[in-house]
Amino acid sequence: MLVARRLDEEAIALQRQGVLPAYAPAKGQEAAQVASGAALDLNRDFAFPTYREVGVAVGMGVDLAAYLASHRNIWHGGLYDPQSSRLAPLNAIVGGPVLHAVGWAMGAKLDGTGGAAIAYFGDGASSQGDVHEAMNFAGVYRLPVVFFCQNNGWAISVPTERQVAGGSVAARAASYGIESLRVDGNDALAVFEATRAALERAREGGGPTVIEAMTYRMGPHSTSDDPGRYRTLEDEQAWAGRDPLVVAAQQLTAEEVAAAEEHAAAVVREVRESLVSLDVRPGEELFSFVYREPTKSLLAQQRAWKEHLDA
């Protein structure tokens, strides 16, 4: 979690320095992300992230410089290998990863691989029609998928109570015949156990589960956001005492925390150096991974692009 926090802070600094065009901070959500990612079986499960899952990448052991390459705008989806890392490319479509996870889960059920998918989304995304369709489909076909909602209190600037009818994302699961639970999203051990159990149940044919991890986005929605315009300092200070790193540190010795800080600093230093030194990818790759067989329209766009460069 310290690696995720310090890397998050470094990414914000790099954005302010002009290295990253934009970044979506994850401060406060480290327990929900790292612990759920660590619960996956990387030999058979698959994770589908949004644009704010740096902690999931840490928990899954993904190449972090390659992960952040997407935020640097060097290559769409990051430079890591999704197939071997078991982490799908970053997805900025609100609710989009949920559909992809359900599609993957259907494939896993049909080919009998025994793996499960986990779909990440926020409380704001839960109001998207795509999420309703995905949960309904997964419920009908009893698919091996875990819907992992990080309820961080805010859909950008709109509080949960103003956009989630009934106030609970987990409660919606009953409408689809899906198991659900709420968990303290700032308690890493609780998140790990809940996610591990839901994944195990999915792999054994028990169907999908909705996990609503109750947490708090301590920073802005993105580096272009000012949370001071829509929430109070008192609210932020109240949640500061429930910081997942503070909660975790209370279960460790001072020596263990110091060692973790030293490790995090070394990781961040290495990631920063690797990220800054990455070369820009060839522009032709914009057209290389759209279709298995390029369409006439895509080929026409590629020709127009080349003509523009040569003009």
Q: Which two tokens stand for residue 106?
A: 């259907």
Tell me the backbone φ, ψ of residue 119, rounded to 5 degrees.
Answer: -110, 125
Rg (the chain; Cα; Å): 20
The answer to whether 5 is a known catalytic residue is: no
Q: Are 223 and 166 in contact (CB under 8 A)?
A: no
Q: Taking Cα atoms as reference points, which of 83, 65, 16 lies closest to residue 267? A: 65
From the list 71, 100, 221, 272, the catalytic residue is 221
Q: Taking Cα atoms as reference points, which of 226, 93, 233, 240 lies closest to residue 157? A: 226
From the list 16, 230, 263, 303, the catalytic residue is 230
Which residues touch 167 (CB under 8 Å, ≥6 apart)? 160, 161
The answer to whether 217 is a known catalytic residue is: yes
- In this structure, the dihedral spanned by the alpha carbons of residues 82, 87, 88 and 93, taken in order and rounded to 10 degrees, is -150
Give the SS3 label for residue 279. Answer: coil
CA distance 144 to 200: 9
From the list 6, 72, 86, 217, the catalytic residue is 217
The answer to whether 51 is a known catalytic residue is: no
Q: First vs last Cα of the chain: how many Å apart?
A: 50
Query: Which residue numbers are catalytic?
Result: 217, 221, 230
